[in-house]
């Protein structure tokens, strides 16, 4: 839970804030309050506070002075301002202190929730640098633009904030472009590279009439394009996007921009519909990876309601039969058929992968050694929705199938990976000096723990297992070679021949010489 401190000289604000939203649902707890800046500053020095919510106009010390002085001591603390004054100078000064948002009274619950959600996300990731520059009015501007495209702001507030931030929402036509930058190998981009790509996109967007640019919480670069020209709107936006792509290509080698264009919508109130369609079109790069731009003229959404069910009977047979290479071919063939069908949508392809994972999970639930694999299951499952190409999807499913096979393999002999390694070590080097102490050093374990683990999984002491293995090797040499008994003792790992005789008689009931005579 993150700690919240509230400062306001209006008693009803202090009394009402704990009940205005379910704070615990946002991972937050109100741990203190004060009615002026002096009291607050003293309290802040006595407890750890993650988020400070403060009024501006208060006796003794106002909210902006409080933020300034508190930031000197607690630079990581996040600050949110409440005010009854829609004064641009107040807003500008507050944003210079790096506040998260400037909320007007009476408080709009929806805006407060959105501000807290974004602030908590920043606290969760505060060890990493921000992807988007936060100087001047950018914080407030990006917050408003995202709430606009996600349909989380009412018209009156949008108009008020648009006027204050100097962007227009009075165009008759709107279209959203989503830019998703990825490295050619689809590994994550460095933060400084992502910042530069955003700056390049924003530079070109702001030099095009009616365009605004920001990054959404998923890391996509969003361009909102408004126009009075219905006929040339799309072509003009594509020109802006082409300039973005050219600039990125010239500066950053090996980076691909996956660009999707949402439907054209009438007036600002329908911008969320264009945003939704543009985001959905990004899914189609899973099928059409080599296309540079996607729009609804190229892709017909939801073109088929047909179910695409994997042949789970064959999948199960290959998985339980431990036929890894055949299973890999089966998975490749299945997803290639989906891609070539021309009627399977990206969501249907992802659903097919989800179905495969769920089936694998069900198959594995009765295997005791699947516990560790199951702990990774959520990460493997959610990874499906971060995949951008069909090859990645195939490798993802094959990796899960491989993990399941490893669990089955462990169940077959009942041994954990470390004990398997110990057994292999004995088989390969039984003729040399071997002890639990040296093996424990190899596997970074305590010798006592390793010995107990070995006994629990094999049902015998390590020393008994080693001696039995050596004696079996000695019996083979007694039968198949002309080596003398002393020589055989040395070859199977016994330096002292008398100890070898003792162990041989213990496990075989007779001496080595008598054993040879009986053959």
β-strand partners of 80:
53, 101
231 backbone dihedrals φ, ψ, rounded to 5°: -70, -40
Number of neighbouring beta carbons within 10 Å of residue 56: 23
Percent residues over pLDDT 70 in the chain: 85
Tell me: the pLDDT tens digits for 182-194?
886 666 688 889 9
Written out in words, the top-level CATH class of the domain with range 131-299 is alpha beta
61 backbone dihedrals φ, ψ, rounded to 5°: -135, 125
Q: What is the mean pLDDT of residues 443-461?
A: 85
Tell me: the pLDDT tens digits for 287-335?
776 777 888 776 654 444 455 677 888 888 888 888 899 999 999 998 8
Tell me: the pLDDT tens digits for 58-95?
888 888 889 989 988 888 899 998 887 655 566 666 66
The conformation of residue 497, written as its DSSP 8-state character, comes to: H
R_g (Cα) of the chain, nearest Å? 34
Q: Smallest Cα–Cα separation from 255: which of 313, 177, 201? A: 201
Q: Among the ranges 150-164, 392-406, 463-477, which has the highest mean pLDDT value?
A: 463-477
| pLDDT given at position 317 | 85
Q: What is the mean pLDDT of residues 237-264?
A: 92
Tell me: the pLDDT tens digits for 106-143?
788 888 888 998 898 888 765 444 444 445 567 788 88
Which segment of 133-137, 217-221, 362-366 scores lowest on mean pLDDT? Answer: 133-137
d(CA 161, CA 91) in angstroms, rounded, equals 12
| Through-space distance between the first and last CA atoms of the chain, rounded to whole angstroms | 76
SS (H, E, C) 408-435: HHHHHHCCCHHHHHHHHHHHHHCCCCCC
Confidence of residue 163 (pLDDT cuts 50, 70, 90): confident
By the 10 Å C-beta count (0-12 exposed, 13-18 middle, 19+ buried), 250 is classed as exposed
For the chain, how many residues are written? Answer: 519
Q: Prior bond to 503 cis, omega within 30?
A: no
Give SS3 for 76. Answer: coil
The answer to whether 141 touches 165, Cβ cutoff 8 Å, is yes
d(CA 74, CA 67) in angstroms, rounded, equals 10
The answer to whether 230 touches 173, Cβ cutoff 8 Å, is yes
Q: What is the mean pLDDT of residues 324-349?
A: 82
Q: Would you say the CATH fold of 417-517 matches that of 131-299?
A: no
β-strand partners of 178:
222, 260
d(CA 94, CA 375) in angstroms, rounded, equals 45
**Residue 168 CB partners (closer than 8 Å, separation 6+):** 162, 210, 226
Whether the pLDDT of residue 100 is over 90: the answer is no
Q: Would you state the torsion angle of the CA atoms of residues 64, 69, 73, 79, taken in this order, to the nearest 10 degrees?
A: -10
The answer to whether 181 touches 194, Cβ cutoff 8 Å, is yes
In 56-172, DSSP assigns E strands to 78-83, 101-104
Q: Smallest Cα–Cα separation from 260: which of 271, 246, 274, 249? A: 274
CA-to-CA dists, residue 148 to 69, 318, 356, 475, angstroms: 34, 50, 38, 82
Number of neighbouring beta carbons within 10 Å of residue 118: 19
| pLDDT given at position 383 | 64
| pLDDT given at position 127 | 44
**Residue 455 CB partners (closer than 8 Å, separation 6+):** 461, 462
d(CA 356, CA 347) in angstroms, rounded, equals 14
CATH entry, 417-517, from 3.40.50.300, 3.30.56.10, 1.10.10.60, 1.10.287.3510: 1.10.10.60
| pLDDT given at position 186 | 61
| pLDDT given at position 265 | 95
Helices H / strands E in the chain, number of each: 23, 11
- Residue that is written with structure tokens 């990006």 in the block: 142
By the 10 Å C-beta count (0-12 exposed, 13-18 middle, 19+ buried), 351 is classed as middle
Q: What is the mean pLDDT of residues 271-293?
A: 84
| pLDDT given at position 500 | 93
Instruction: Please state the domain extents for the chain.
Output: 1-127, 131-299, 312-413, 417-517
- Residue that is written with structure tokens 């050093």 in the block: 441
CA-to-CA dists, residue 441 to 17, 428, 433, 446, angstroms: 58, 18, 14, 8
Q: What's the predicted TM-score (pTM) here?
A: 0.48
User: How would you classify residue 272: left for phi > 0, otherwise alpha for psi between -120 and 50, otherwise beta?
Assistant: alpha
| pLDDT given at position 39 | 92
Number of neighbouring beta carbons within 10 Å of residue 235: 9
| pLDDT given at position 302 | 45
Give SS3 for 219. Answer: coil
CATH superfamily label, 1-127: Response regulator (3.40.50.2300)
């Amino acid at each position: 839970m993150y700690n919240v401190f509230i400062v306001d000289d209006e008693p009803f604000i202090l009394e009402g804030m704990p009940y205005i939203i379910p704070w615990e649902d946002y991972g937050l707890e109100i741990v203190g309050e004060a009615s002026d800046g002096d009291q607050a500053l003293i309290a802040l020095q006595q407890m750890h506070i993650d988020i400070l919510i403060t009024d501006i106009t208060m006796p003794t010390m106002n909210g902006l002075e409080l933020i300034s002085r508190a930031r000197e001591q607690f630079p990581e603390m996040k600050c949110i301002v409440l005010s009854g004054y829609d004064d641009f100078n107040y807003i500008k000064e507050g944003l210079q202190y790096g506040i998260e948002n400037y909320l007007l009274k009476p408080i709009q619950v929806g805006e407060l929730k959105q501000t807290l959600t974004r602030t908590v996300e920043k606290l969760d990731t505060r060890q990493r640098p921000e992807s988007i520059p936060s100087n001047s009015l950018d914080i407030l501007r990006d917050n408003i633009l995202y709430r606009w495209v996600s349909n989380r702001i009412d018209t009156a507030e949008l108009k008020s904030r648009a006027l204050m931030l100097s962007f227009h929402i009075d165009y008759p036509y709107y279209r959203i472009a989503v830019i998703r930058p990825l490295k050619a190998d689809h590994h994550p981009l460095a933060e400084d590279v992502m910042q530069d790509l955003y700056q390049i996109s924003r530079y070109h967007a702001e030099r095009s009439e009616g365009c605004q640019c920001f990054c959404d919480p998923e890391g996509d670069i969003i361009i909102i394009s408004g126009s009075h020209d219905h006929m040339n709107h799309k072509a003009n936006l594509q020109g802006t996007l082409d300039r973005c792509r050219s600039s990125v290509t010239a500066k950053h080698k090996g980076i691909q921009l996956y660009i999707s264009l949402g439907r054209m919508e009438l007036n600002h109130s329908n911008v969320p519909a264009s945003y939704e369609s543009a985001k959905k079109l990004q899914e189609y790069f899973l099928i059409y990876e080599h296309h540079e731009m996607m729009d609804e003229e190229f892709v017909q959404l939801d073109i088929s309601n047909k179910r695409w069910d994997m042949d789970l009977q064959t999948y199960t047979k290959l998985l339980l039969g431990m036929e890894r290479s055949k299973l890999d071919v089966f998975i490749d063939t299945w997803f290639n058929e989906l891609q070539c069908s021309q009627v399977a949508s990206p969501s249907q392809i992802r659903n097919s992968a989800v179905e495969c994972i769920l089936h694998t999970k069900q198959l594995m639930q009765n295997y005791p050694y699947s516990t560790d694999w199951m702990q990774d299951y959520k990460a493997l499952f959610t990874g499906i929705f971060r995949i951008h190409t069909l090859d990645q999807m195939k490798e993802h499913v094959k990796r899960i199938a491989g993990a399941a096979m490893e669990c089955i393999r462990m169940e077959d002999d009942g041994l954990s990976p470390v004990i398997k390694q110990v057994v292999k070590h004995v088989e390969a080097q039984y003729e040399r000096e071997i002890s639990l102490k040296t093996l424990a050093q190899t596997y970074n374990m305590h010798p006592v723990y390793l010995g107990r683990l070995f006994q629990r999984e094999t049902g015998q002491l390590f020393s008994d297992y080693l001696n039995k293995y050596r004696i079996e090797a000695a019996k083979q040499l007694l039968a198949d070679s002309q080596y003398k008994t002393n020589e055989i003792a040395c070859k199977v790992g016994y330096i002292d021949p008398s100890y070898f005789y003792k162990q041989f008689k213990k496990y075989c009931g007779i001496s080595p010489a008598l054993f040879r005579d009986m053959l």
